[in-house]
Structure 1
């Protein structure tokens, strides 16, 4: 039996694998950071022991000290035999350790915190998109590990067109965010889709599918190559510390922003929701009306979205200006939302086999495009 994390986005430390019924593991910290929660590893084993199927019980012993302990409550890990189809597996949390159990039916099986979105798939998304006549693949610069900061510009520039910006995966372990963008881009480039065609007559989209490629490859939960939380860098980013934000922000300043969506995942809340700009200095009645309309539209479009549960409203003038949604919404005085999806399930519409999943994230991305369509004429 062997457990390894020596691959893209892998994260686990092996303590003891001498007994399949009592495997001891730990999650590694993000580099130069106290954050840890994302795990992704492969189990290679003989599923049959003495003629009988063998249950494997894996204890992640430091789960109780992770970044978001409440995220383990009612949580189930995901597993896959083919790295394409991910399913939930029995998982328990006792306040200290997370215990994952599975009786494998094949020799090799992967486990993860959520369905991974690999760097290779990220490259496929970018380069397949650039083949569309309405899309350009731009490189804004490089990360600290030397990876490209890639931007998809979709739509031709013309006078009067709106600029809509979408960013995802500032926190690399929130892989549902790039699955969301995968679905949204796929629909936007579908020439037979009426919503997409109508939008591209009025909008230029600037989409960053992965804001944190270094953290993703390194198997981080929340930070970049040097342990920096990018979603706390938007007020004063730097090329030395947070080039990802610096480069994207410079491009925003050049294009302007009429609407901004920053896509994330939430460890604890088992629902889809948005968080807005109530606490920014520039917030006014017009801003509130845009936010309220967008939420009502999304509730009408899909039962996967709701507005009863989410984060608390920011006090006037007290929003954290280093957060992407707050900085963009305030600086450009535009509709700006953080989109949050669950790591667990949408408990308003549960799926006990896969929970909230990569496919459901992609479908929600497609649905949000309809929401954008209904807002375009109100943005300016």
Structure 2
């Protein structure tokens, strides 16, 4: 025991040919002499099933969707100006689905794989529906429908679940319907949205996925909907006194008795990310230049993965001379477009193209593909299980309450102590503006004023029909001091950005008036890599000339309105579990 430095070493009388084990060493005997061997390391990373708050009821169905691209860009909806609102119901309506058990808990306590072990009696048909009633379900990963009320033969009022342990943040939706009649016109109205404006007023349509269409025709998620209106509810507020808004649309389902899904944006679940990372770790060629490790565990016990991507085998001096790039995504769980951009970025960077090889040879990439797995699992739009916006808490000292952003910041600090981080970018989605664009940070120095604008400008040149430089903003607002972009910039990363992708589509060039697909989002990850090659090219003539011409001729007006994705000041403050108790929540 003294030789091993272990105070609790179980020792069993064994034959000399047998092995004695410690928690750290293997002890063998050879010719009567002890031989100590280090235990082989366990798997560097694993992919356990997602963990849910114990009060969340979860069905056992495995939800999977095929990847598919429409043959032609899908156009925006053009309102006729004659869209009718949902007629007032004659009575309270027939509640056909209700799943609000989790909303009755004030704060997160503990999590389990698979969620609640109790019955699922709270999510059922509360009144036996007639044969024509739709069957709703959302107790699956990233789903968030709370209640459905049938107010007419084919009319339904829907209530979304707010982010867990909050009374706010309804934007994202994702749910399943069955028992439909083909060709009948159904109307859905989501009644508790909280943003005063929406891309649904600018031509965006909801998404539909039909399992029958996927099986028989290979068709996946596609845009649907007519009679689309986004409007303020008359004199209706939530419990906090905030105004509520409604989204209403009509749709025809293509098949009788199909299983269909409706969503705000193309879903991208934690399980899909795990599957993607499994493919990487099982490919020896990719694994030779890509390490997937555990950065930390989330508040709910889900693994936050970090990837290190760079060419190995270089001398220590060459490795030290490599500069670093940090890319993260999905701090806001409802912004699934960020994950699609991340997948496109990784597809390019992990590919076998010459450009990908050049990037890996010259840079160390640190990638956190999903910062908020808890929120993604439960179907939140903006917050973690702390009931707070993680992208307002990068300066936090509460490691146990905000582990994902605390460990990300610490990882970047260690990286900066070793080498220069030339660029940081966090991938996001935007709910009120079309196109893709960036938010950056301007220096006060006039000599350096435009340095932080070069990368976004080059992005706009490489992706001219998707990326809008005119929509980029570089102001550091006081309310954004806790965001990843500003905190990393304050730490010394000169080029620190969020890349915002619309939930809608493009207003540019040949893609004007059309929705973005998953392929469009993934292409922005490709363009990001392509722009990085130009941006860091030793020959800076091209970049310098373009910047000088642009900034000399096209200066930005000083009175431009700054439009952010969301004001999350109402999600600042202590985590809600610390407001109600003095102990840190358990992970069982």
TM-score by length of 1: 0.90
User: 1:111, 1:214 → 2: CA distance?
Assistant: 22
The answer to whether structure 1 residue 92 and structure 2 residue 225 are counterparts is no
Does the residue aligned with 2:320 lie in a helix, a strand or coil?
A: coil
Alignment partner, residue 370 of structure 1: 530
Alignment partner, residue 40 of structure 1: 174
Alignment partner, residue 110 of structure 2: none
Alignment partner, residue 7 of structure 1: 140
Structure 2 residue aligned with 1:308, among 470, 495, 500? 470
**Is contact 1:228–1:241 with CA below 8 Å preserved after alignment?**
no
**Is contact 1:21–1:57 with CA below 8 Å preserved after alignment?**
yes
Alignment partner, residue 434 of structure 2: 270
User: 1:354, 1:143 → 2: CA distance?
Assistant: 37
Compare 72-81 and 109-118 and name the one that shifted more: 72-81
Does the residue aligned with 1:110 lie in a helix, a strand or coil?
A: strand
The answer to whether structure 1 residue 23 and structure 2 residue 156 are counterparts is yes
Q: Deviations over 1:12-44 (max 9, x none)?
A: 122313645211101111012222211100111
The answer to whether structure 1 residue 218 and structure 2 residue 378 are counterparts is yes
Structure 2 spans left out of the alignment, 5+ residues: 1-133, 234-245, 313-318, 539-588
Alignment of 1:159-198 (within 5 A): 159-191=320-352, 193-198=353-358
Alignment of 1:189-338 (within 5 A): 189-191=350-352, 193-256=353-416, 257-278=421-442, 284=445, 288-303=449-464, 304-311=466-473, 313-314=475-476, 320-338=480-498
User: 2:334, 2:321 → 1: CA distance?
Assistant: 37
User: 2:328, 2:276 → 1: CA distance?
Assistant: 14
**Is contact 1:346–1:356 with CA below 8 Å preserved after alignment?**
yes
Structure 1 spans left out of the alignment, 5+ residues: none
Aligned-pair RMSD on alpha carbons? 2.2
Alignment partner, residue 305 of structure 2: 150
Q: Deviations over 1:144-181 (max 9, x none)?
A: 11000101111146121011000001111000001001
TM-score by length of 2: 0.59
The answer to whether structure 1 residue 58 and structure 2 residue 188 are counterparts is yes
**Is contact 1:87–1:354 with CA below 8 Å preserved after alignment?**
no
User: 2:514, 2:179 → 1: CA distance?
Assistant: 24
Structure 2 residue aligned with 1:103, among 236, 239, 252? 252
Aligned residues: 366
Report 1 or 2 for greater relative contact order, CA contacts < 8 Å, sequence distance ≥ 6.
Answer: 1
User: 1:260, 1:293 → 2: CA distance?
Assistant: 14
**Is contact 2:196–2:232 with CA below 8 Å preserved after alignment?**
no
User: 1:26, 1:289 → 2: CA distance?
Assistant: 46
Give the C-alpha shift of residue 79 in structure 1. 1.2
